[in-house]
């Protein structure tokens, strides 16, 4: 697959986001390939899924070319894009086998979502996490649904409304990630955690995850539908167009509040 690599080692499957020259930024092609890879791993004999990134970043968020394309998209295309992102996030959140993110570098915006929607998230000390969407007139709508559940509403409001990035130490304190490991020990720590999971009954793990997801699914799906609508609608605002233009032109935005 052009944007990622899928490898198996015994009962462990590993997806490596593989666009290091783009800091593993998310494109429509990557989303499609991730969804296909999830299907393949679910159907395989693998019992644990690891997700990591190639190069110095885990995932820097949306690809620059994809951002540029947003300016000329129709309302129907905006809605379709929001639905696709929601489908990816929900698929990873409810993946039936245990998932571990080995966060080798910065995980920003959608990349932060991929990293933290895994059951376990191990980050290197140098990694940064955050949702800076409000700084470019965008809306972290889909990820907000999951973030509130992960760290609580007050902490989620802090991250989403300020758009600030945080380091691994703060992410661990907030409960956004589960472990910190030095870069040279990241994959060792990940493999050790995978081994702990593999020592348990795969049936019990699968049913436990299924039960946890079923507890939250009805409300989460209702919230996701609202988030998709809001995410698509904000792309029609003047502030979004200005935020996007200022980001691409590397200048301060001139907000109109419209």
As annotated, the active-site residues are: 133
Cβ distance 63 to 26 under 8 Å? yes
Mapped onto helix, strand or coil, the DSSP state of residue 48 is strand
What's the DSSP call for residue 3?
A: T
Token representation of residue 199: 């020592």
Of 70, 57, 56, 58, residue with least CA distance to 28 = 70
CA distance linking residue 80 with residue 85, whole number of Å:
9
Are β-strands 4-9 and 12-17 bridged in parallel, bridged antiparallel, or unpaired? antiparallel
φ, ψ (nearest 5 deg) of residue 17: -65, 125
């Amino acid at each position: 697959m052009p944007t990622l690599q899928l490898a198996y080692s015994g009962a462990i499957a590993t997806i490596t986001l593989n666009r290091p020259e783009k800091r593993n930024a998310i494109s429509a092609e990557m989303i499609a390939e991730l969804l296909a890879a999830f299907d393949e791993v679910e159907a395989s004999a693998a019992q644990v899924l690891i997700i990591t990134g190639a190069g110095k970043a885990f995932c820097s968020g949306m690809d620059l070319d994809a951002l540029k394309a947003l300016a000329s998209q129709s309302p129907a295309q905006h809605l379709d894009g929001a639905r696709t992102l929601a489908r990816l996030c929900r698929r990873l959140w409810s993946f039936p086998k245990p998932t571990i993110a080995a966060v080798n570098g910065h995980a920003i915006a959608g990349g932060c979502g991929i990293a933290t929607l895994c059951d376990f998230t191990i980050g290197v000390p140098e990694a940064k996490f955050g949702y800076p969407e409000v700084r470019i007139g965008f809306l972290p709508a889909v990820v907000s649904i999951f973030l509130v559940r992960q760290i609580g509403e007050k902490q989620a409001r802090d991250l989403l409304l300020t758009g600030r990035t945080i380091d691994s130490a703060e992410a661990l304190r907030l409960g956004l990630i589960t472990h910190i490991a030095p870069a040279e020990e990241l994959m060792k720590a990940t493999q050790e955690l995978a081994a702990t999971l593999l020592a348990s009954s795969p049936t019990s793990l699968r049913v436990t995850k299924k039960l946890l997801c079923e507890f939250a699914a009805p409300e989460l799906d209702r919230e996701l539908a609202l988030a998709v609508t809001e995410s698509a609608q904000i792309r029609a605002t003047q502030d979004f167009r200005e935020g996007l233009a200022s980001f691409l032109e590397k200048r301060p935005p001139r907000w109109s509040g419209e």
